[in-house]
Amino acid sequence: MKRKGKISRKTKETSVIVELNIDGKGKYKINTGIGFLNHMLEQLSKHSSIDMNIKVKGDTHIDLHHTTEDSGIAIGEALKKALKKSVGIRRYAHAMIPMDETLSRVAIDISNRPYLIWKVNLKVEKLGEMDTELFKEWFQAFSQAAGITLHVENIYGDNSHHIIESCFKGLARSLRTALEIDPRNRKTIPSTKGSL
């Protein structure tokens, strides 16, 4: 069973095309028009082993909010589409990611019950051209669209680049584990309800 998803999302503010393959090798081609966001999504693809082809055109002449949020929505929708009914997945996962002086923790439940806990404080207002408040917006949009309960916490760290990158890598590694097919339960949905 191929676990691939493609989403085309067009609004008056953005045009987003996302293609992904859950069972890939972490190959990516990403152009959001925002350098730092490209870098984070490349980390997400590489460390989750999810192949991603992402193209975004947004109203960046206004600001970067719509492009950031809509990329999170489209990636989440493509992931949910690729999962279909979530048969055989491990469902739960977590990762502790160090990056130099920084340590961050991410825990997920692919539950179809979206929720974000965000305990990340950044000391700067911008990373590259990106307002740092937009990172929470991306994680919120992604978790809602994908139907994922997502807890993101920076335990300690000084460098804001390291902190955000460790959060994206933590999400990536958690997705890689949670989306794996459980060899003991290949044909079942991981819930006593019988559906997610």
Identify any residues that bridge with 102 across adjacent strands, giving them in sequence order: 99
Q: Is the pLDDT of residue 158 over 90?
A: yes
Range of the structural domain that residue 102 is part of: 4-178
- Asked if residue 116 belongs to a domain, the reply is yes
Tokens representing 19? Answer: 């293609």
- Asked if residue 105 belongs to a domain, the reply is yes
Question: What contacts 40, CB < 8 A, 6 or more positions away?
Answer: 164, 165, 168
Whether 117 contacts 153, CB under 8 Å:
yes
- Asked if residue 192 belongs to a domain, the reply is no
The string of pLDDT tens digits covering residues 106-124 is: 999 999 999 999 999 999 9
Query: Domain count of the chain?
Result: 1
CA distance 115 to 108: 10
CATH of the domain at 137: 3.30.230.40
Given this model, what pLDDT does residue 194 score? 75
- Asked if residue 100 belongs to a domain, the reply is yes
Question: What contacts 80, CB < 8 A, 6 or more positions away?
Answer: 5, 145, 146, 147
Read off the pTM: 0.96
Given this model, what pLDDT does residue 189 score? 82
